[in-house]
Amino acid sequence: MAAQEALLRVEGLSVRLPSGADRALAVEEVSFELRRGEILCIVGESGSGKSITANTIMGLLPRPYVEPVAGRILFEGRDLLREPEPALRALRGSRIGMIFQEPMTALNPVLRIGEQIAEVFDAHGRLSKKGRRERVRDLLASVGLPDPDNLGDSYPFRLSGGQRQRVMIAMALALEPAILIADEPTTALDVTTQAQILDLIKHLQRERDMGVMFITHDFGVVAEIADRVAVMQFGKIVETGTARQVLNDPQHDYTRRLVGSVPAFEPPPERPRVEGEPILKVEGLQKTYITARGLFTKGRRVSAARDVSFEIRRGETLGLVGESGSGKSTVGRCIVRLLDADGGAIRFREEVDLNSLSGRKLAPYRRHVQMVFQDPYASLNPRRKVGRIIAEGPMAHGASWKEAMARARELLALVRLDPSAAERYPHEFSGGQRQRIGIARALALDPELLVADEPVSALDVSVQAQVLDLLEEIKQRLKLAMLFITHDLRVAAQICDRVAVMQQGQIVEYGDTRRVFAEPQHAYTRSLLAAVPGKEWKIPEVARQAAQKQKESIA
Amino acid sequence: MGRLSYIGRRLIKGLFVLLAIVVLNFFLIRAAPGDPAQVMAGEAGAADEMFIEQLRERFGLDRPLHEQLFIYVKGIVTLDLGWSYRQNQSVASLIWQRLPATLLLTGTAFCIALLCGILMGALAAARVGKWTDTLITALALVFYATPLFWIALMAILLFSVYLGWLPGFGMVTVGAGHSGLAYIGDIAAHLVLPAVTLGLFYMAVYARMTRASMLEVMEMDYVKTAKAKGVAPGRITRRHVLRNALLPVITLAGIQAGQMIGGAVLTETVFAWPGIGRLMFDALLQRDYNLLLGIFFVSSAMVVLFNLITDLVYTFVDPRIEVA
Amino acid sequence: MRDFWKRFSRNKGAVIGLVILFAVIAVALAAPFLYPDSPWRMVQRPFLAPMTVEGFWFGTDTLGRDIGAGLAHGARVSLLVGIVSTAVALLVGVTLGALAGYYGGLLDDALMRFTEFFQTIPNFALAIVLVAIFQPSLTSIVLAIAIVSWPPVARLVRGEFLSLRSREFVQASVVIGQSNLRIILTQILPNAMSSVIVMASLMVATAILLESSLSFLGLGDPNQMSWGYMIGAARTVLRQAWWMSFFPGVAILLTVLALNLVGEGLNDALNPRLARKGR
């Protein structure tokens, strides 16, 4: 295939951060090119500098705090770093389009959608008013939005996240730019919506022969759409190449470790069957929310969980899988009794129905069912020392300060942190370390069932792997039962023995992980599995080994 | 139809509040030290035995408490707020006479405060960190900290006494006998000092609020989107930033508008402006509690009304409010 | 602690405010030594202009009372009323706000209706009515100001509790079995305190303004010489004796301004995330 012309060429770009940041340069000596008719994926973990690179190209940096200090960005014969602002403004939206990560906040809430799209034409002085109206209609149709004739008169709050992202794409492509920069546009979307948007971008890119610079942290997405890949770490590009090269034969050690940490889509073949009586049996769980209730208004009923039933044994991990709004978090919260289920039973060890207990009667049973939370930055009290945070559980159940603190130190060692961490504050730790502290806290009461609510969703992929390994090891050692709530099917494939798929509050499929993945029965499960990006891609062995070596070095 | 029922619901809530205030008034009279009849008669009327008897009759002060409450509420509903012995007029008619002057004063002060405040706040936010911003922020801080009655006095001293530019007393020039346009001009001249001094405090409040709100909105994602579309900065500020930043300011302004009546008491006292604020001061001097509570009730009613208007305005401005 | 002072002192206005505040407090504390006689005593000829007679730098008022003494003793009244009424308002407001925010549901609804009611009434008018009916005294003034000032605190605390209650570390406390009271006191409240502290300093400022306004209207404690009273008493002789109204007003202005500046500094120091560019 003949090399296509380069639309955009970045040469030796360096961008500095304000003093006090964790490194001097956000982006260091970065060089790459974006060619016509290709999708270039820039991959990296958080803090790798990929977003700042994108923002620099568009000239959207918060100057003077973050400033480019070296390099050139060549586009259509000009160096974007040396062009005056009015010239850059003429390029934005007309020659280079950009879409962002958070569709829910990316549109002005008080302006109609049609007005916001028409604004692109207005800003560049194109078309008459009538012409704009027609073009808006066409654009809305071209991104697959329903009712394009009238949608332009709606306000953003009427649209879902996926729909808003389509509007963003319409706005970015309205003037047929040569380049589209997409900064993590699907990260905040559900897996099925993500698949649709990725398809849309691929389709539009091919149709218009554009160059697309797609920023992501998800290698599955890379496998799905990338033609070429550039991997960033700590502000530098460590590897570039075609997608085939980087995904199947990564050269750089960091790339290998990163790729190796991605959970495979195929569930492992050998999973020993877990025997024994179920320790938790959920029967017909119901939970309904009534929103926006006032003195005179009735409010809307939302059924978060309907007739949910499953069981878990000690030593086994049951995955509760679904998209946002599926009710999986609600079920998790009902089980740890953060919420009161409206109906159904939560039978613990055949002895008692947890749902029927509350207050004082519930207190002694709390210790048996504990939870690990999703957000490592919000799940620890910022004003408490770590040791105290872990010790609070045992103390609430009668342990003395000394006993509880000793246990806290024990647990810190168990989760592979130094026991001296007990004297420090949460903000001194990284996201992965905070999650370990959260796990230690959950284990402090010697629970028999651990509910993990998206425990790794907020972590970078390399850290994810470590925390998942830790959870697996602890589960084996302590013979815990684990309810693992996640939206990430790859993670579910790797660590769940059995899996329950939820859709709109109901369990639509329930069974052995391997069987569900190989032979999904329900239509929703099939569409969910089909939507996982890069599912055909097999993670290369050399990457697996590199990741394994890193995990062992930390242990 | 949705909007109408929304306002209807708000109105009913407002009426409940008014009812609660009436009950509050009722109990306040009885909580005052001394015989309720004497309290209601005020300092002047307490000396008149016959008047006190009339009061006992009228308000049924010998009857059980719940009957008294009923009579009182019935009175309020029929706009009977009592009688002022000293002024020899019904409280309702007194208030009715003086209300327009206060509305003129607070209305003007509100407009000045809102317009100037928003302008200053927007300017400060647009030039954040530069000396314009520092100056405006400092001025706002000082106006916010200045006692209203004192700055009124100082304004009189400066502009009326030393410079002689503006009158500092009353609403019209006594004995001048103006009519038509000259009359309006005369009132306008008298209005300047009181309206500006009353507005200064709130101007500071609105300026700070606008500035903070704009700074917050400027960090929003949709502003970034607008920049990525190549929209010019001025347009971004007007169309995207201001329209969203002003929403909380409008809400605040509406609530404050009612509170301004409190400030009017001080301003009208200092400037001898013939409004209900001044009337309240007179009532205090004369220990005329009936009049005092009557004015209190009316000002609360005004606040309820302003809140209602604010709610209504807000439904037009923010499309997210579900009025259906 | 050191971080706190570093962040606080970065706000130059706040440092100035703190200095002024200390000066006012110092004067208030030293008043009995600087001016041992009661400020009500007539000590010189009336209408004495400032800077004309030694020892009476601020002049005298219509009855020959030393304005300097009035300023010093007035500082005591203002600070006393400001602090005590704020303390009472905080007590009520924090309690009600915490209960409403934590328990939600009907309790929240009821408390919110109650708070809204108080916020609908014009504050100053209510204060006037309360002090007038219960006869002016330090107690009635303090209580009236407290009654008028607690709703915003309750609203703020409720808001903080609502948002903190759904924060994951609070949910974790519930799951590990801590009691409600423990959670409110040890998990939520310490994290809500910083906003309350900032608000408290602003409330003292407002309380001082309210007290001076009440005294100006003649509703001050008749036994206390307060700044507002001094201005009110000098209103009719504004033309002839500008200094009688001027100095007490400046005193109020400086004190309130200082408190506001300190409040902003506290906000920067305690909520570093919120301190954005171009404070």
Arithmetic mean of pLDDT, B237-248: 90
Taking CB atoms and an 8 Å limit, are C176 and A444 in contact across chains? yes
DSSP characters over A115-142: HHHHHHHHHTT-S-HHHHHHHHHHHHHH
pLDDT tier for residue A293 given thresholds of 50, 70 and 90:
low
Greater model confidence, B165 or C173: C173
B284–C216: do the CB atoms touch at under 8 Å?
no
Q: Among partner residues B33, B149, B295, which is closest to C216 by beta-carbon distance?
A: B149
Question: Beta partners for A346?
Answer: A282
- Arithmetic mean of pLDDT, B207-212: 94
Residue A70's DSSP bridge partners are A14
**What rounded mean pLDDT belongs to chain C?**
89
Identify the residue among C3, C117, C167, C169 best suited for mutation to test binding to A, counting A beta carbons within 10 A and taking the highest: C169
Do the beta carbons of residue A285 and residue A334 sit within 8 Å? Answer: yes
Closest among B225, B240, B257, B244 to B110, alpha carbons compared = B257
pLDDT band at A491 (very low <50, low <70, confident <90, very high): very high
pLDDT in tens, A165-176: 999 999 999 999
CA dihedral A508, A511, A516, A518 (to 10 degrees): -150
Strands (E), A153-227: 179-183, 211-216
Tell me how close the Cα of C178 comes to any Cα of chain B, in angstroms: 37
| pLDDT score recorded for residue C272 | 65
Mean pLDDT of A273-284: 87
Region of A286 on the Ramachandran plot (φ > 0 left; ψ -120 to 50 alpha; else beta): beta
The closest alpha carbon to A67, from A22, A30, A11, A13, belongs to A13
Chain A residues in contact with B222 (beta carbon < 8 A): 105-109
Q: Could you tell me how far CA A77 lies from the centroid of its own chain?
A: 38
Residues on chain A touching C174 (C-beta within 8 angstroms) = 338
Predicted local distance difference test score (pLDDT) of residue C274 = 47
pLDDT range class, residue B323, cuts 50, 70, 90: low
Work out the average pLDDT over B16-42.
Answer: 81
Lowest-pLDDT range of A442-451, B145-154, B176-185, C128-137: B176-185
pLDDT at C279: 29
Question: In the structure, what pLDDT confidence band is assigned to residue A116 with cuts at 50, 70 and 90?
Answer: very high
Q: Given an 8 Å threshold on Cβ–Cβ distance, is A338 in contact with C171? A: yes
- For residue B168, the 8-state DSSP code is -
Task: Report yes or no: A146 at the B interface, CB cutoff 8 Å.
Answer: no
- Residue A323, token pair as written in the block: 């998209």
- Closest Cα partner for C220 from C139, C102, C115, C111? C139
- Token pair 């960005």: residue: A73
Per-residue pLDDT reduced to its tens digit, A37-72:
999 999 999 889 999 999 999 999 988 788 999 999
pLDDT of residue B1: 56
C52 compared with B146, residue with greater pLDDT: B146
Chain segment B82-100, per-residue pLDDT in tens = 777 777 788 888 889 999 9
Name the 3-class secondary structure at A345. Answer: strand
Chains A & B: contacts with CB separation below 8 Å: 77
CB-defined contacts B:C, below 8 A: 135
Give bridge partners of residue A98 from the DSSP assignment.
A181
Question: How many angstroms away from the CA of C33 is the closest CA of chain A?
Answer: 44
Using CB atoms, list chains with 3+ pairs below 8 Å to chain B.
A, C
Least confident of A168-182, A339-353, A386-400, B84-98: B84-98
Per-position DSSP letters for A297-333, written without gaps between them: ---EEEEEEEEEEEEEETT-EEEEE--TTSSHHHHHH
CA torsion through residues A244, A247, A248, A249, sign: positive
Q: How far is B114 from chain A (nearest CA, A)?
A: 21
Q: Quickly count: other Cβ atoms within 10 Å of residue A246's Cβ.
A: 25
Q: How far apart are CA B290 and CA B300, in angstroms?
A: 15
**In what order do the strands lie in the sheet containing A39-44?**
A96-99, A179-183, A211-216, A39-44, A228-233, A236-242
A460 pLDDT more than 60: yes
Cβ atoms within 10 Å, residue A57: 22
Residue B324 has what pLDDT? 46
Q: Is the pLDDT of residue B71 over 50?
A: yes
Kindly state the average pLDDT of the residues A238-256: 93
CA distances from B98 to B78, B168, B263, B275 (A): 20, 19, 16, 5
* Tokens, residue B160: 């009326």
CB proximity C163 to A under 8 Å: no
pLDDT band of residue C258 (cuts 50, 70, 90) is very high
Q: Give B239's contacts in chain A (Cβ within 8 Å).
A: 108, 111, 119
Task: Name the helix (H) or strand (E) containing B65.
Answer: helix B65-77
Residue B129 Cα, gap to closest chain A Cα (Å)? 13
Cα B89-B92-B96 angle, rounded to 5 deg? 100
Three-state DSSP at C221 gives coil
B33–C219: do the CB atoms touch at under 8 Å?
no
Q: Do C134 and B147 touch (CB under 8 A)?
A: no
- pLDDT tens, residue by residue, B112-144: 999 999 999 999 998 888 999 999 999 999 999
Classify each residue of B50-61 as buried b or exposed e, where b means 16 or more C-beta atoms within 10 Å of its C-beta.
ebbeebbeebeb
Q: Residues B295, B262: contact at Cβ < 8 Å?
A: no
| Pairing mode, strands A278-291 and A300-313 | antiparallel
A56 in contact with chain B, both atoms CB, cutoff 8 A: no
The one-character DSSP state at C234 is: T
Instruction: Please tell me the predicted confidence (pLDDT) of residue A436.
Output: 95
Give pTM, 2 decimals: 0.87
Compute and round to an integer the Cα radius of gyration of chain B: 24
Spatial contact of A474 and A443, defined as CB atoms under 8 Å apart: yes
**Mean pLDDT of chain A, nearest integer:** 91
Question: Is C171 in contact with A373 (Cβ distance < 8 A)?
Answer: yes
C176 lies within 8 A of chain A by CB: yes
Residues of chain C found within 8 Å of residue A361, distances taken between Cβ atoms: none
pLDDT value of residue A290: 79
Provide the pLDDT confidence category of residue B31 given band limits of 50, 70 and 90.
confident
How confident is the model over B264-273, as pLDDT tens digits? 999 999 999 9
The closest CB to that of C238, out of B129, B153, B295, belongs to B153
CB contact under 8 A, A378 and C177: no
Is A371 strand, coil or helix? strand
- Report percent pLDDT > 70 for chain B: 98
Token pair of A193, please?
């919506």
Higher confidence at residue B38 or residue A386?
A386
Query: B316, C164 in Cβ contact below 8 A?
Result: no
Mark which residues 113-132 of C lie under 8 Å from B by CB: 116-117, 119-126, 128-130, 132
Q: CB-based contact (8 Å) between A89 and chain B?
A: yes
Stretch among C30-39, C66-75, C222-231 having the lowest mean pLDDT: C30-39
Q: Cβ contacts (< 8 Å) between C126 and chain B: which residues? A: 296
Contact B244, B217 (CB under 8 A): yes
Average pLDDT over residues A517-530: 94
> Which of the residue ranges A327-336, A381-390, B65-74 would you say has the lowest mean pLDDT?
B65-74
Flag if B284 and C123 touch (Cβ within 8 Å). Answer: no
| CA A513 centroid distance within chain | 22
pLDDT score, position B160 = 87
- B11 to chain A, any CB pair closer than 8 A? The answer is no
Q: Using an 8 Å Cβ cutoff, are A475 and A391 in contact?
A: no
Q: Would the CB atoms of B281 and C217 count as touching at under 8 Å?
A: yes
Query: What's the gap in Å between the CA of C102 and the closest CA on chain A?
Result: 14
Rounded Cα distance between A432 and B8, Å, is 53
Of residues A198 and B35, which shows the higher confidence score? A198
- Pick from C133, C134, C246, C268 the residue to mutate for testing the B interface (most B CBs within 10 Å): C133
**pLDDT for position B81:** 76
Asked whether the beta carbons of B123 and B136 are under 8 A apart, the reply is: yes
Contact list in B for residue A139 (CB cut-off 8 A) is none
Give the mean model confidence (pLDDT) for residues C173-199: 91
CA–CA gap between residue A544 and residue A550 (Å, rounded):
10
Burial class (CB in 10 A: 0-12, 13-18, 19+), C23: middle
Give pLDDT tens digits for B138-184: 999 999 999 999 999 999 989 988 888 888 888 888 777 777 888 88
Query: B18, B300 in Cβ contact below 8 A?
Result: yes
| pLDDT at residue B14, as a whole number | 85
Size of interface A-C (CB pairs under 8 A): 56
How far is B51 from B42, CA to CA, in rounded Å? 11
8 Å CB contact between A245 and A542: no
